[in-house]
Amino acid sequence: MRSSLTLSAAFILAAAVFIGMPNDGMAQNHSNRFTIVIHGGAGTISESMPESVKEQYYASLRKALTIGRDVLANHGTSMEAVEKVLRYFETDPKFNAGIGAVYTSAGTHELDAAIMNGATLRCGAVAGVEHIAHPITLAKLVMEKTPHILLAYQGADNFGREMGMKWVPNSYFDTPERKSELERWMKKIKEHDHGTVGCVCLDEYGNLAAGTSTGGLTGKMPGRIGDSPLVGDGTYADNQTCAVSGTGIGEQYMRYAVGFNINALMAYKRMSLKDAVHYIIHDVLKPGDGGVIAVDRKGNYAMDFNTTGMFRGVANSSGLFELKIWKDK
């Protein structure tokens, strides 16, 4: 009796290893096929930016995409890839997430982030973070360690401290570039600063995940929360349809529930990923509002925007590795 039990346990374990068992416990078909899409924000991005600056952006995008691609190529999960890519962006001062976050009208930083697992619909988010260096990891901890989805302000920072995350002064997020954007904003020079970061993936287990991290919009009122940490607006993932991360004027993304509606067009209207994304970006949102990246469960992907540019990249298990900023380059 005992040995037949041991035998069946061994059989189950072997079967789990054979079909693939990502560490969130979801056994899925193991296809060896993966796709990853990243963005580093959409907005007014001048094509006449100096060659050296362009190269710096491409180098950062290449690094982020390589980090995520390598996680997936080494049998990691989509959730792991999303977190790792966004943690990288949160340390790169060129992007509006972590160090390099934009300033509020009060000259401070309030960071938002969310992550969602398309296999389980479990998700976690934080808003108004002022002292935790990696909001995306804090969002993942909200998902894993609390019964809640969204923690904000002091409650979010204190939870991070309880979880043993590094506590940083708010000035840790300062950069001179973002400071001068705030100064221009104060002189009423209107521009949509870019740099929010996002990542969506399909892993070899057939699971989708999405994540977004941002400092929000330059000059936002203290207390303003954008679309990025709102599940269904700037971030959404469901294995039945797609994973989406948006970037742009958050209020528009909230008004039109962008992430959820792309998913809904696919689920209810049987639209393809590309058509659903195109419809929301070009027929629902207004020119200049922003862009999205998305991937579906077959590995089809979309990177669409209605601004002058969107920092973006895509890689997959067939060897595709592509980076772009403007329409064709």
Distance CA 316, CA 223 (A): 39
Taking the complex as a whole, the smallest distance from the CB of residue 244 to ligand ASP amounts, in Å, to 13
Sign of CA dihedral 34, 139, 144, 167: positive
Nearer to ligand ASP (CB atom), residue 133 or residue 217: 217
- Of 201, 210, 193, which is closest to residue 259 (Cα–Cα)? 210
Catalytic residue from among 196, 214, 241, 307: 196
Distances (CA, A) of 149 to 9, 145, 192: 35, 10, 29
Nearer to ligand ASP (CB atom), residue 119 or residue 126: 126
Respond yes or no: is residue 175 known to be catalytic.
no
Taking the complex as a whole, the smallest distance from the CB of residue 134 to ligand ASP amounts, in Å, to 18
Q: Checking DSSP bridges between strand 123-129 and strand 150-152, what pairing results, if any? A: parallel
List the alpha helices (DSSP H) in the chain: 2-19, 51-73, 78-89, 135-145, 153-162, 176-186, 250-255, 258-269, 273-278
Taking the complex as a whole, the smallest distance from the CB of residue 51 to ligand ASP amounts, in Å, to 25
Residue 127: both structure tokens together: 């808003």
Taking the complex as a whole, the smallest distance from the CB of residue 287 to ligand ASP amounts, in Å, to 16
Question: Which amino acid is present at 25?
Answer: G
Strand, coil or helix: 248: strand
- Of 46, 43, 63, 42, which is closest to residue 54 (Cα–Cα)? 46
Taking the complex as a whole, the smallest distance from the CB of residue 140 to ligand ASP amounts, in Å, to 19
Nearer to ligand ASP (CB atom), residue 71 or residue 281: 281
Nearer to ligand ASP (CB atom), residue 211 or residue 234: 234
Question: Could you list the residues that contact ligand ASP (CB under 6 A)?
Answer: 41, 194, 196, 214, 216-217, 226-228, 234, 247-250
Distances (CA, A) of 95 to 60, 256, 277: 9, 25, 24
DSSP assignment of 117-130: ETTT--EEEEEEE-
Q: Catalytic positions, please?
A: 196
